[in-house]
Structure formats: C-alpha cells, structure tokens
C-alpha cells in the first residue's frame, strides 16, 4: 500500500506549511506543495483519516509556484516555501494566523497587520545551527536526520557560509551554532572549542568577559548577543520586531519582561521606565544587567509566577519558547496588569494560551504578524490583550 502513488489536488495551506488535499474522505498533507498544485504523491505515513506523502511527480503546477531558489530545495528542511511566490507567502501566513485566531474566538474580525521587508528576503539568517556527523556539516533533510551539504543556502548570511567553509572536512560530529554581526566583523561559535579550526585572530579578546580566548558576545542594535544563548535567527529582521514592541510599550512605565533572554525588547528602553526581566539563562541575564540599569533576574517559570502576582504592572511581555507559556498562564490571569504583549513564533501555542486568558475576561485587541522567516512557513506574531 505504501508504494501506491496517489493523485491529489492541493486546496489550501495548513499549520506547519503543508499543502492539504482531500481525496476519498482522507486528508492528505504534502510538504513543498501549494494550493493549485496537482501532484502524484507517495505516502510515507498514515493515520486514521490522514495521509502524509512526498511529491513523486508534478502533474499541474500552481500559478504561484516559482523555480527553486537553490538545488537543495524540495528536500532540505530549511526552506519549505522557497518555491512559492513571496506575495503568496505573506497571504498564506496571514491566513494561518487568522484561522488560529478564529479557533479560539469565533467571528473575531481583527485587522491583522503583517510586516515584512522585501529588501532582506535572502541571506537574512545571522544565526544558524549546523549538524555534523563527522563527514558532513549542514542541515537536516526534511523529515529525517540525514545531513545535507548546504554550501550555497539562499537564506544563510554569506559571512556564516564563509565560517562554515573553514569547518568542513574537520570531522565535526556535533551541532555547531554560528552567530554573526551583519554590520561588523564579529562572530560567535558554540561550542567554543570549534574556534580551533578558525585561524582568524581579529575576533579574539573583544567584548570578552569570561577571560577566555574568544569573543563571547557582541552588541547589535543595542542588544547584547551572547554566545550559547538564544537570539533571533535574523538580527536584521529582528529590528522590525523590536520596533513594533517598543511602539506598543511607548506609554508604559512599569514593565515585567518574561522569558527576556538578554533583553531583546527592553534593554535599551528609556531609563525612566521601571523594567524587571526574568529568564532561566544565567549568562543572558548577566549580560543584560551589564548593558542596562534595569533589574534582570535569573529564574525559572516558578519565579516568573511569583513576580506576576507580586506587583501591579502596566504591561507584561512574554516571549516563551515554541512550546508556549502554559505553566504561567494561570498566574497571568490573576495579575493586575493592564496589558499583555505575547510574542511567539508558533501561532498554535500562542492561541492555545490566549484562549485561557480570553475565557478569564481578557480582550484580544491586536494581532501583528512579522515575517522574520521568508521562504519558510514560520512567522513571528505579536498578540496584545487588555483588560
């Protein structure tokens, strides 16, 4: 049965970026397929009413399909929408946000704003995780752990590719994190022992606070970017996100910044404001403290919950990991804050958490999508709730 090829017409895009087609009462989900495509697929996974399949042959192409931007496209897990017209990418991302909002609040007619930057559609990624198996250093093939060579990636910044070129053929058998400053010759590599393969000395002993040989942070757009700590995949496109959040905070004085990292949204706010930031990453918190006069605290979600109900806040910001903020949501419903700004790269978990808040009397005021991941189905979202 698994060897049987099935002809499917793709009707729509669904969460995860898959093309969806229906046939004989079954839903078929197909990666790298877009509405308007008619494809011959080979199933690779089946559930009760669901079939997953890879494209074996393109019978009819969507009018919005374009030529692949690189030779790996269609198999590499990096760019699932790289063969889709960019205007349609934005349209579908807006549609996915709207559908997730409707799943938690029927008949909600929000005017969802989508921000994007057509001048930075390529080579925008300033942070990349390469996977190494001792032979190849690259990205995973879609839906597998097979590592693909990605010597010419259209979304990876060329400075990162130059560093990767120095690391290939070094028998690296681990994940390697590379983060670059797009405006200066500064870069971070984690684990730090990977530096032994790079002879360039210009990057050493600059912005270094750990008495180590190599740079452990740099400043970009006033934010400390710390080696081994989370930062947005694109510092270039992160400017759009920071600018919008700052606009939303303009009239707020007392701010609680949860999952704050190194202070992406608050570290350079007006010094007259009263900001408390909490994150579990001690290194990120340490650097945020050094770069501002605000109170940044190392702590887990238990500490976040205590601060939520400890004081009255003008605004609570939360930017949790992809899994969401399920643990702190019950405490967030009890806080006396006037406004919640929820930032997420996953509209599914964001809406799951927001549903609880709405049921407790919060009003969904605004939703903004920011395309920080061109040519992928991912989008950063900002949700503003008031009470």
Flag whether pLDDT at 5 surpasses 90. yes
pLDDT for 106 equals 76
β-pairing verdict for 380-386 and 363-370: antiparallel
The dihedrals phi and psi of 370, each to the nearest 5 degrees, come to -125, 120
CATH architecture of 1-65: Beta Barrel (2.40)
Residue 204 has pLDDT above 80, yes or no: no
Question: Alpha-carbon torsion 265, 266, 272, 277, what sign?
Answer: positive
What is the pLDDT averaged over residues 72-93?
93
Say whether pLDDT at 152 is over 90: no
Q: How much is the mean pLDDT over the chain? A: 93
Predicted confidence at residue 105, as pLDDT, reads: 81
125-139, 206-220, 245-259, 342-356: segment of lowest average pLDDT: 206-220
Burial class of residue 343 in the structure, from the number of CB atoms within 10 Å of its CB (0-12 exposed, 13-18 middle, 19+ buried): buried
**Domain at 87-119+233-386: CATH architecture:** 3-Layer(aba) Sandwich (3.40)
E strand or H helix at 121: none
Decide: 372 and 86 in contact? Cβ < 8 Å.
Answer: no
Which residues in the chain are classed under CATH 3.40.50.150?
Answer: 87-119+233-386
pLDDT at 185 over 70: yes
Dist CA 345 CA 371 (whole Å): 10
Lowest-confidence pick of 105-114, 115-124, 330-339: 105-114
Q: Is pLDDT above 70 for 211? A: no
77, 68, 32, 70: which is closest to 153 by C-alpha? 70
- pLDDT higher than threshold 70 for residue 1: no
Long-range contacts of 246-252, Cβ-Cβ distance < 8 Å, separation of 24 or more? 248/315, 248/341, 248/382, 248/384, 249/315, 249/317, 249/341, 252/314, 252/315, 252/339
State the span(s) of the chain assigned CATH 2.40.50.140.
1-65
User: In the structure, what pLDDT confidence band is assigned to residue 282 with cuts at 50, 70 and 90?
Assistant: very high
CA distance linking residue 104 with residue 123, whole number of Å: 36
Q: Is 316 exposed, middle or buried (0-12, 13-18, 19+ CB in 10 A)?
A: buried
Using a pLDDT cut of 70, give the percent of the chain over it.
95
Cβ proximity of 155 and 89 under 8 Å = no
């Amino acid at each position: 049965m698994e060897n049987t090829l099935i002809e499917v017409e793709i009707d729509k895009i669904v969460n995860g970026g898959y093309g969806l087609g229906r046939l004989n009462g079954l839903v078929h989900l197909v990666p790298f397929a877009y509405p308007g495509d008619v494809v011959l697929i080979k199933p690779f996974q089946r559930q009760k009413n669901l079939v997953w399949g890879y494209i074996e042959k393109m019978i009819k192409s969507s009018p919005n399909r374009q030529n692949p931007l690189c030779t790996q496209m269609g198999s590499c897990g990096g760019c699932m929408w790289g063969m889709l017209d960019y205007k349609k990418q934005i349209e579908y991302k807006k549609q996915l946000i709207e559908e997730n909002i409707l799943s938690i609040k029927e008949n909600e007619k929000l005017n969802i704003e989508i921000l994007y930057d057509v001048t930075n559609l390529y080579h925008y990624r300033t942070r990349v995780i390469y996977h190494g198996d001792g032979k190849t250093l690259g990205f995973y093939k879609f839906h597998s752990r097979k590592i693909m060579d990605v010597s010419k990636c259209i979304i990876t910044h060329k400075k990162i590719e130059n560093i990767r070129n120095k690391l290939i053929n070094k028998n690296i058998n681990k994940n390697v994190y590379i983060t670059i400053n797009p405006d200066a010759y500064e870069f971070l590599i984690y684990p730090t022992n990977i530096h032994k393969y790079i002879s360039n000395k210009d990057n050493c002993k600059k912005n270094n606070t750990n008495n180590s040989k190599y740079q452990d942070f740099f400043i970009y757009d006033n934010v400390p970017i710390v080696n081994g700590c989370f930062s947005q995949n694109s510092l270039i496109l992160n400017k759009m996100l920071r600018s919008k959040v700052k606009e939303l905070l303009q009239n707020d004085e007392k701010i609680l910044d949860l999952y704050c990292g190194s202070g992406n949204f608050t570290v350079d706010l007006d010094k007259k404001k009263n900001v408390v930031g909490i994150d579990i990453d001690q290194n990120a918190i340490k650097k945020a403290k050094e770069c501002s006069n605000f109170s940044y605290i190392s702590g887990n979600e238990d500490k976040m919950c205590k601060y939520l109900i400890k004081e009255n806040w003008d605004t609570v910001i939360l930017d949790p990991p992809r899994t969401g903020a399920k643990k702190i949501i019950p405490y967030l419903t009890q806080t006396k804050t006037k406004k919640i700004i929820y930032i997420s790269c996953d509209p599914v978990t964001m809406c799951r958490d927001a549903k609880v808040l709405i049921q407790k009397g919060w009003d969904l005021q605004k939703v903004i999508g920011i395309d920080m991941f061109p040519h992928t189905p991912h989008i950063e979202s900002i949700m503003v709730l008031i009470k």
